[in-house]
Structure 1
Amino acid sequence: MTDPQIALMMLGLFIVFVFLGFPIAFTLMAMGIGFGYYAYFEERRMWREYFRLDETASWWDSTSTYIEGFFNNRIFDLFVNQTYTVMSNEVLTAVPLFLFMGYIVERANIVDRLFTTLNIASKNIPGSMGVAALITCALFATATGIVGAVVTLMGLLALPAMLKARYDRSFASGIICAGGTLGILIPPSIMLIVYAAASNVSIVRLYAGALLPGLTLVALYLTYVVGRSILQPSVAPRPTAEEVPDVPMGKLLLMIVTSFVPLAFLIFAVLGSILFGLATPTEAASIGALGGILLAFIYRAMTWQRLRESVYLTLRTTAMVCWLFVGSYTFSAVFSYLGGEHVISEFVQGLDLTPVQFLIMAQIIIFLLGWPLEWSEIIIIFVPIFLPLLVFFEIDPLFFGVLVALNLQTSFLTPPMAMSAYYLKGIAPPEVKLTQIFAGCMPFLFCVIVAMVLMYLFPQIVFYLPELFYGS
């Protein structure tokens, strides 16, 4: 077999092992080191053959040189260097800080106050409880960036309230599932940090580029919720006075100040300091983590147990992301050295695609990968395969990254592997069926596709803010 064929076999075996359920990070590292033995050992063969041709060399000298070459294989140097590169990456330093901020905010009892306030403030809007749940999801998802946590917590808080208010089960479930996934798109997003580290795109420009697409998607969600509530009032009946009581304006303003303003201020302070160049993402994440702790103290929700849980979950998730990077870097380095990347590049270029056709093909592949894989695995392992092709098709990696982030919303909403639906089903009342949750997700999936089409037709949705803040 030729080296490129072995590289493709390496990729195929990796996909097989993933579907068999092996831990992805360790599978990447094991296969990278295993195939790297062959790749770098082969490089030394010519030198060893030259040594054997030396008539003065004894059999023992030739054998000892062979053994030394086997155990001194450079794959170990590569693995150590890749590990050090990942652990010293300044962009990835922001990941544990943002995660810690999210886990602290999740445990600060802010969400129930926020949902109650927004529910009262929007009671005169059609589908008011759905609107309140969606805005709460968007803010909470932005603050945490953890899809499972947002869907689970909002499912415990908002779903029973909407069902009690006679909302259609599918409609209510779809709102929770779709709103909970927004955190991986709207800055400050952990996913965008990971993409920036994988692609060497400026995280600051990436945040600026993702802001308008994220808000566009939220606007499409809200338009659907309000529009369907007007056209089909039975799915979202207007709340009664018992369900949403009348509150004096002064008291409502106080509720907004104590529930909505603190969380919104924390998010805008973190994001604004990054976008306006007042702080690096790592510095802003540090301030966000400190702000999350202060909010927990202000709401009297900070306990030693909650702090301990937040630290533990932060360390566990950060370790997962970093070891995925180590395994991916090692795997991709060996894969490229064997010529696999070149084969894929030549194949795609030989298809004679236009840039738009290439983008559509890439997004379909990422959409399909979103069924069995998490977003972190897609960004770290598979997206780098497409990055070298962006130069050939003259596609800005900033635009591609935002498009991928938008596309990955669909991986959480598309049956049969819609993880948001399974998160919600795990805590939903027994009468809410999984098929009803799937049905509720489908209109929001259509909204995501509409948002992607808008990005194709109007790329300035992505480029306007980066060019405004930082120039072309």
Structure 2
Amino acid sequence: MVALLLFITLFILLLLGFPVAFTLAGVSIIFGFFTFGLDLFNLLPLRIYGTMTNYVLISVPLFIYMGVMLERSGIAEKLLNTMALLLGKLRGGLAVAVVLVGALLAASTGVVGATVVTMGLLSLPAMLKRGYSPALATGTIAASGTLGQIIPPSVVLVLLGSVMNVSVGDLFMGAVIPGVSLVVLYLLYVIGIAFFRPDLAPAIPDEELKVFRGAGFAKRVLSAFILPMILVLAVLGAIFAGIASPTEAAGVGAFMATLLTLLEKRLTLKVLQEVMRETTWLTSMVFIILVGATAFGLVFRGIRGDEALISFIEHLEMSPYGFLAFVMVAIFIAGFFIDFIEIIFIFIPVVTPIFAKYGMNLMWIAILVSMNLQTSFLTPPFGFSLFYLKGVAPPEVTTNQMYRGIIPFILIQIVMLILMITFPELVTWLPKLMKD
């Protein structure tokens, strides 16, 4: 009953709009004081110190820095423009370019907000100018920009690995096939729409393509692709080849992003200050929530909430897949209201012991959770990616058009989630192959 009261109090305060980190910590300390007494203030600092010295979590600020620096480098802009003109002869070529660039940026940064905003600023005006349906344009941008949730190096996967005590390197490898499959499904949808409804996704005019394909065409294409590919290979190649841990690879990625910005002649003292300020702000937000979640986890286990939950699930005689369905639906709904960081730090530590008791593969569960969080990131009316995109969209693009445009992509992601549940090998095959 005390555990239930803790949850109810926490969610009421969150729905009333109190800051997540301080609500988590404050409510937990109050309940913990009545549970542990003054001993709470001996236990809690030790838990927080243990979390703050977690080697895996050092990669979080480094990956965030890498993503923000890449956003400022202008590489994304060059890549998008080049890819769009390269595929411009195709119907829907610009939308195909957006999906491919979204996947490349996801593999380069892992930061969703920055990718959605960057692509919204660069590609949405261009798509609308060339006669694209606002619904298709916004849906493609929001969905492609959110690929950073599942495609490594994803901050979501780093946090899940830390919370669930699963190798981040294994998670990165396990996410490759689902991430690539999702990109392929997006491309098939966009190409299908362009084929059956060419008025919604017209080709780029020949005059514009002739100018692009003039002198220096090959050089422009190579320079646009080679820099982001170097970054992807430096980070993911080092991890998959076993040369570096994810944390070490994050350091390599941060250095490479700075070097690429310097090569693009965009690295100034002002840019460096902006990147460091943004990185500090985002990292502080993640870690202060983590401190609150650590306090919550300590108190929840102290009042034997985890034992009560396991006993409750056993009493219901729920099958492993029944429990998995229950958790997936709960995370999907929670994603409407709270950010993925809070979901990872509040929900996942509670349900992980139950998945372990059922003997389920925790790496597979983590990838399913990541895909689910990505879906909730897009779902109206509270999808965070939609808010990011709406903030940079032209005034003529309505919220209703954005909602209509994103629905097909949500359905694609649900199909992908069902395939991953039905065929776990989509997640587990590559990590097993790499270990063998």
TM bin, normalised by shorter chain, reads over 0.9
Please give the secondary structure, in 2, of the residue aligned with 1:307.
helix
Partner of 1:65: none
Q: Indicate which of 25, 32, 37 corresponds to 1:29.
A: 25
Partner Cα separation in structure 2 for residue 374 and residue 245 of structure 1? 45
Partner Cα separation in structure 1 for residue 266 and residue 255 of structure 2? 15
Q: Does 1:339 align with 2:304?
A: yes
Report 1:32-111 matches (<5 A): 32-41=28-37, 73-111=38-76
Report 1:410-425 matches (<5 A): 410-425=375-390
- Which stretch shows the higher mean deviation, 111-120 or 350-359? 350-359
Partner of 1:50: none
Partners of 1:165 and 1:243 within 8 A in 2: no
Q: Does 1:464 align with 2:429?
A: yes
Q: Deviations 1:69-91 (Å, cap 9, x if unpaired)?
A: xxxx1111122112211210000
Q: CA deviation at 1:391?
A: 2.1
Q: CA deviation at 1:242?
A: 3.5
Q: Indicate which of 5, 17, 42 corresponds to 1:9.
A: 5
Partner Cα separation in structure 2 for residue 157 and residue 238 of structure 1? 18
Q: CA deviation at 1:419?
A: 1.6
Partners of 1:119 and 1:244 within 8 A in 2: no
Q: Indicate which of 358, 377, 399 corresponds to 2:342.
A: 377
Structure 1 residue runs of 5 or longer lacking an equivalent are 42-72
Residue 215 of structure 1 aligns with an amino acid whose one-letter code is V
Partner of 1:392: 357
Partner of 2:138: 173
Q: CA deviation at 1:411?
A: 1.4
Q: Deviations 1:446-468 (Å, cap 9, x if unpaired)?
A: 11011111112211110111101
Q: Deviations 1:192-223 (Å, cap 9, x if unpaired)?
A: 11011101101111111011111111111111
TM-score (norm 2): 0.97
Partner Cα separation in structure 2 for residue 291 and residue 134 of structure 1? 24
Partner Cα separation in structure 2 for residue 153 and residue 206 of structure 1? 26
Partner Cα separation in structure 2 for residue 218 and residue 249 of structure 1? 31
Q: Indicate which of 177, 180, 187 corresponds to 1:212.
A: 177
Partners of 2:106 and 2:152 within 8 A in 1: no
Please give the secondary structure, in 2, of the residue aligned with 1:412.
helix
Q: Does 1:278 align with 2:243?
A: yes
- Which stretch shows the higher mean deviation, 195-204 or 247-256? 247-256
Q: Indicate which of 278, 292, 295 corresponds to 1:330.
A: 295
TM-score (norm 1): 0.90
Q: Deviations 1:410-430 (Å, cap 9, x if unpaired)?
A: 112111101211211111111
- Which stretch shows the higher mean deviation, 18-27 or 398-407? 18-27
Partner Cα separation in structure 1 for residue 357 and residue 170 of structure 2? 22
Partner Cα separation in structure 2 for residue 307 and residue 226 of structure 1? 40
Please give the secondary structure, in 2, of the residue aligned with 1:107.
helix
Residue 76 of structure 2 aligns with an amino acid whose one-letter code is V
Partners of 1:117 and 1:252 within 8 A in 2: no
Q: Indicate which of 140, 145, 166 corresponds to 2:105.
A: 140
Residue 239 of structure 2 aligns with an amino acid whose one-letter code is I
- CA 1:35–1:116: 2 relative to 1, 3 Å: same
Residue 260 of structure 2 aligns with an amino acid whose one-letter code is L
Compare CA radii of gyration and give the structure with the larger one.
1
Q: Indicate which of 267, 272, 276 corresponds to 1:311.
A: 276
Partners of 2:44 and 2:298 within 8 A in 1: no
Partner Cα separation in structure 2 for residue 464 and residue 125 of structure 1? 35
Report 1:348-367 matches (<5 A): 348-367=313-332
Residue 315 of structure 2 aligns with an amino acid whose one-letter code is G
Q: CA deviation at 1:246?
A: 5.3
Structure 2 residue runs of 5 or longer lacking an equivalent are none
Q: CA RMSD in A?
A: 1.4
Q: CA deviation at 1:247?
A: 4.1
Partner of 1:44: none
Please give the secondary structure, in 2, of the residue aligned with 1:93.
helix
Q: Indicate which of 96, 110, 130 corresponds to 1:131.
A: 96
Partner Cα separation in structure 2 for residue 125 and residue 463 of structure 1? 36
Q: Indicate which of 289, 292, 316 corresponds to 2:257.
A: 292
Partner of 1:427: 392
Q: Deviations 1:33-85 (Å, cap 9, x if unpaired)?
A: 111111113xxxxxxxxxxxxxxxxxxxxxxxxxxxxxxx1111122112211
Partner Cα separation in structure 2 for residue 207 and residue 446 of structure 1? 24
Q: CA deviation at 1:249?
A: 8.2
Partner of 1:255: 220
Q: Deviations 1:431-455 (Å, cap 9, x if unpaired)?
A: 1100100110000001101111111
